[in-house]
Amino acid sequence: MRRIILSTESGADLPRELAEKHGIRVVPMHVIMEGKDYLDGELPVQEIYDYYERTKKIPSTTSTNSHEYQELFTKIREDFPDCVIVHIGYTSRASSSFQNAIIAAEDFEDLYLIDALNVTGGLGAIVMFAANLLEKEPTIDPVHFVEKIKSTVPKSRLAFVPGSLEFLRAGGRVSNMAYLGGALLKIKPRIELVDGKLVSTKKYRGKMMVVAEKLIQDYLNDYNIDREMLYFQYSLGLDENVKQRMDGIAREHGFKRITWIEAGAMISTHAGPGGFGIAGIEA
């Protein structure tokens, strides 16, 4: 039996304890702030928010490069010489990371690349589906394993609302007029992954507690999510009362396991403080 090793990017925001428990290798993406390159995971998120307060600018982010993927795959092979590597990557339609992984993979055999067409909790949900499947079926044929993951990719559903439109405005993701209108009316966009791209699909009005309740109700009405597992994402600054209320609603809807995922530096650079999101796999 050949061991299968999973890998992904830090943009999955996979909690460290889950990555360690399942032996998932995580390669960092990058945050560039004040001319310095930080590996995602090494830069405290609060420093990004402090930087914005001082400068009214947000850092930039860059993908994992092909050399870093080569190092990742080489290290896995050194640790497990006869293994099969399955890399589940950050959406190719919002980053060049996956293309860089393809370049690096040319030097390796028994290496499968899967474009998750998703980010943060949506990507993490696919990675954890793969990890749980591997735990249940450790002798699964690698080709069959990859096919099952690929069939799950379009079933992973992510929806989130940013805590503030300021980071979207500062990053050029909404116009000033849309930002001002949204700020004055307390409007928050619902953002989803559609064909691997970030798209605003709806607008909510009100404080985050009200918005979060509307988001989860709409999400559960729109998608028949498998009740085994639900993932909540949040960026630093989300009110604890919102978290408790979302836990309660999820349990009322019969979810057996709920995992909270904190956005790392790379995702927080785009989403800003106090954001909330939901991810799960359709049944």
- Domains annotated for the chain, with CATH where assigned, are 4-31+62-152 (3.40.50.10170), 156-281 (3.30.1180.10)
Residue 177, pLDDT score: 46
Residue 124 has pLDDT above 80, yes or no: yes
Residue 181, pLDDT score: 57
Residue 282 has pLDDT above 70, yes or no: yes
- Over residues 4-48, the pLDDT tens digits come to 999 999 999 999 999 999 999 999 999 999 999 999 999 999 999
Average pLDDT over residues 66-70: 98
Q: CB–CB of 231/201 below 8 Å?
A: no
pTM over 0.85: yes
